[in-house]
Amino acid sequence: MQDWLGMSAADLGRGIERGDIDPVELADAFLDAAKSHPRGSDIYARLTPDRARTEALAARDRAHTGRRLSPLDGVPVSWKDLFDTAGIGTEAGTAMMEGRVPDADAQVLVNATANGMVCIGKTHMSEIAFSGLGLNPVTATSPCVNDLDAVSGGSSSGAAASVAFGIAPLAIGSDTGGSVRVPSAWNDLVGFKPTHGALPVDGVVALVQSFDTVGPLARTVEDAALSYTALGGPKITLDGARIDGARLLICETVAMEGLSDAPARAFEEAVEKLARAGARITRMPLPFLADAFQMTGPLYPPEAYANWKDHIDRAGDRMFHQVRKRVTAGADFAAHTYITAWKNLRMMRETWLRETAGFDAVIMPTVPSLPPKVADLLADDDYYVSENLKALRNTRIGNLMGLTALTLPTGVPSTGIMFCAPPGAEARLLRLGSAAEAALT
């Protein structure tokens, strides 16, 4: 039974299909592991044992009668604490929402439940999802699997930790500037960001709706593809995926600058493996990206402030000061500045598509740095700001350019390689990622 804790979600589903794994025993195994884990309370904001067992019992009945709803029917999953859960607290990592209990599930949770997935708990996160580090002195800071004194990455911090520490086989998070991919990279997981709008965000506590997306943190690309379908995406077949002949572009502008030693080395080693497997690698600057980063200030904080202003006016003193400062900066931008920034960004997106049209994916290190220590971040405000901006730098390219993106572990602890494809190319990207995954292991 202990082997279940390290298995992929897809393998657990196949075990249920064969009759080798009982969904109720499986749910109990993960619930027990979460309760007994020494850092479990830093990873899960709350477990949902009653819901989990009810859903697992139904999955058991379906398995016994040959009526399974999907390949993940009966498989446990953790949910970031910004997905509404009916009758269960959803507080988005902030004391400003303490005691908030929604009446209905988020739409993606409705979809997952309709496909038989078993909700086992809600995971901690960066406050209101507005940080790439995962540091949250207000609720809890989840640890990195490779360094217990370091942050796990944000904002889907507990989501990544729940899978990395073996107390969930699969996690669902959100990604506005990198919040699925940063913690996935730092915890040696697969993280998938679909195109903005590909999955519904109804019932998801909003940060910046213009960029908010829903995505899985998983052990394998197969798990990411299956969960994407279960959340409401189309069915994706990974059969026949090949890296041989794939055209990959290394973005030399911004993304490859100022890399720490480990991410730089891991990326180049990963590129060598992909090339040996037959991928055709090109390196090219994309200079307009430097200007795209200037759009983040006029676009992210104003919309975040519009969403959170009432809460901050009422109870902003309960916030982590770093997050409060970042959100309230949105009050300083005029409407014409916001509108102009969007106009410029849309033109840059068109430029990206033209410049990268001949390639199957653009690749880069997922995060240019390693996870910093919790104590160092708490001790130095300037260090916190610089590390947060650094952590989100490369992943934010995917959000700014409106792309779908996938991060894979490189084999070097806490480093990832990110593949970016045009909007709507989820199936193509996941097939490419499946082939790259095989080449990298």
Is 80 part of the annotated catalytic residue set? yes
Catalytic residue selected from 155, 156, 157, 227: 155
Contacts for 268 with CB less than 8 Å, ≥ 6 apart: none
Smallest CA-to-CA distance from 57 within 14, 13, 97, 23 is with: 23
Catalytic annotation, pick one of 8, 70, 78, 80: 80
Classified as helix, coil or strand, 365 is strand
Backbone angles phi, psi at 210, to 5 degrees: -70, -15
Decide: residue 224, CB within 10 A, 0-12 exposed, 13-18 middle, 19+ buried: buried
**Spatial CB neighbours of 392, under 8 Å, sequence gap ≥ 6:** 132, 177, 178, 182
155 is catalytic: yes
Dist. CA 81–CA 91, nearest whole Å: 6
| Per-residue buried b or exposed e for 184-212, using 16+ beta carbons within 10 Å of the residue's own CB | bbbbbbbbbbbbbebbebebbbbbbeebb
Which residues have CB under 8 Å from 240's CB, separation 6+?
A: 431
Nearest-Å Rg of the Cα atoms of the chain is 20
Strand partners, 284: 251
CA–CA gap between residue 426 and residue 441 (Å, rounded): 22
Q: Which residue has the tokens 């033209």?
A: 354
Q: List the catalytic residue out of 70, 152, 162, 179.
A: 179
Residues 43, 37 contacting (CB under 8 angstroms): yes
β pairing state of 213-218 and 171-175: antiparallel
Closest CA to 28 of 54, 9, 10, 46: 54
Extract the tokens encoding 196.
């903005």
The position carrying tokens 């930790």 is: 161
**Would you name the residues annotated as active-site residues?**
80, 155, 179
